[in-house]
Amino acid sequence: MARDKREAQGLDRELEDLSPELRWREWMQRIEAVLFASATPVARDDLARVVGQGAAVDLLIEDLVVDLEGRPYEIAQLGSGWMLRTKAAYAAAIRAAADVSRQTLDLNDFDLAVLAAIAYYQPISRDGLKDIFGKEISRDLIGRLADRDLIGTGPREPRRGAPYTFVTTEAFLAAFGMESLRDLPDQEGLEDAGLAEH
């Protein structure tokens, strides 16, 4: 219904009155505009709603990536979607001139450690986290991670009481610049970075 409503508002997806080159350019600009306006990664199916039926979203994005070379921002594939993000080389300049405090995760070291444990051992319950850390993990901490949409509930454990488990979300992938959980560093990488014991 929402899709029909958008099309009824005058979005000409096919652009048959344009030459093939101009049509392709317009589709690229539409994708760029959608990515620019979105604060979260945009899925392929959503991007396909602004281009013609014969258009390949992946190819449009590839051409857009080339178009954006030399710019201070880039298209990043995060999870199952894409988003525009500023290149890391400009982080200091942005922090110096722009208020980005609402975009920071604002997590302490222990919150990050629990989030990492969830990422590596998901789905995992609070009891599983207690086994890892040797102490009870508070509902408040779980709530902070869930409020930032970094974790969600997973399947219930198949045992008495059927406690909830926790898993990471697409927002987790976006926050840490990962395309999938396969991008998590392995144990050796963590040790090399001094983040895990040998």
Using one digit for the tens of pLDDT, what is the confidence trace for 86-133?
888 888 888 788 766 556 677 888 998 999 999 999 999 999 999 999
Token digits of residue 23: 């049509």
Q: What pLDDT is recorded for position 89?
A: 87
Contact 170, 38 (CB under 8 A): no
- Please name every residue paired with 78 in a beta bridge, in sequence order, or none if there are none: 81
Contact 125, 137 (CB under 8 A): no
CA gap 165, 80 in Å, rounded: 22
User: Given its phi and psi angles, is residue 35 left (phi above 0), alpha (psi -120 to 50 degrees) or beta?
Assistant: alpha
* CA angle in degrees (0–180, nearest 5) for 179-180-185: 100
Contact 177, 76 (CB under 8 A): yes
Residues of the chain with pLDDT under 70: 1-9, 99-104, 189-198
Q: What pLDDT is recorded for position 87?
A: 85
Contact 173, 180 (CB under 8 A): yes
Q: What pLDDT is recorded for position 85?
A: 87
Token digits of residue 99: 């208020």
Q: What pLDDT is recorded for position 8?
A: 38
Q: What pLDDT is recorded for position 101?
A: 57
Contact 112, 168 (CB under 8 A): no
**Which stretches of the chain are assigned E, i.e. beta strand?**
42-43, 73-78, 81-86, 151-153, 166-168
Helical residues (DSSP H) of 11-125, grouped into ranges? 20-37, 44-48, 57-67, 91-97, 109-121
Contact 28, 66 (CB under 8 A): no
CA gap 109, 115 in Å, rounded: 10
- Whole-model pTM: value is 0.60
Q: Measured between alpha carbons, how far is residue 50 from residues 2, 30, 46, 88 in Å?
A: 13, 7, 8, 29
Residue 12: what residue type? D
